[in-house]
Amino acid sequence: MAKLEILEFPDPRLRTVAKPVAQVDDRTRQLVDDMFETMYAAPGVGLAASQVNVHERVVVIDVSEDQSQPMVFINPEVTVLDEGTLRPYDEGCLSIPGFYETVERPEKVRVNALDRDGKPFELEPDGLLAVCIQHELDHLNGKLFVDYISPVKRQRIRKKLEKQHRLRA
């Protein structure tokens, strides 16, 4: 396994729309393993392949406290089950380190995806897992949680991260 580099906002590569995985094979499974290693080391609870500059529809998630419930979503499709019920969550992101903002998302969704072995499955999560899936699916579509906040806040975050990037360079 290998720890991958996580792209950080405002890197334009984060805006790339991911392509479906044509076939789940050893290369895909290696990507999944590397993404889990990267996510756990960060530490985070979710990571989309787009965040590690692989523009394929692959997401890994583990919302457990002890990293005991790894979940893989390949080519995930989400259906909102309660359009009218939006719930606010404080979201953070490995690609926007150190910043948290309140985002309203549907509380209950259905997700259809392939697992690590390419087998289809369906899940109806709610709460944190539902939010995390929606957040990571946004990444696959070139969208970030800062797109849900005001332009003023988004610009403030952009400037602070750009300054941090200059200081690290």
93 is in an annotated binding site: yes
Q: Is 63:128 a contact under the CB 8 Å cutoff?
A: yes
Q: For residue 24, what are the β-bridge partners? A: none
Q: Where are the beta strands (DSSP E) in the chain?
A: 46-48, 58-61, 71-80, 86-93, 96-106, 109-114, 120-123
135 is in an annotated binding site: yes
The verdict on whether 107 is a catalytic residue reads: no
Q: 43: Cβ–Cβ under 8 A, 6 or more apart, which residues?
A: none
Longest dimension (CA), the chain: 45
**Of the candidates 167, 71, 139, the residue with the CA atom closest to the CA atom of residue 111:** 71
The residue from 8, 56, 101, 136 that is catalytic is: 136
Give the residue ranges of the annotated binding site for Fe cation.
93, 135, 139
Give the residue ranges of the annotated binding site.
93, 135, 139
**Which residues are catalytic, by number?**
136
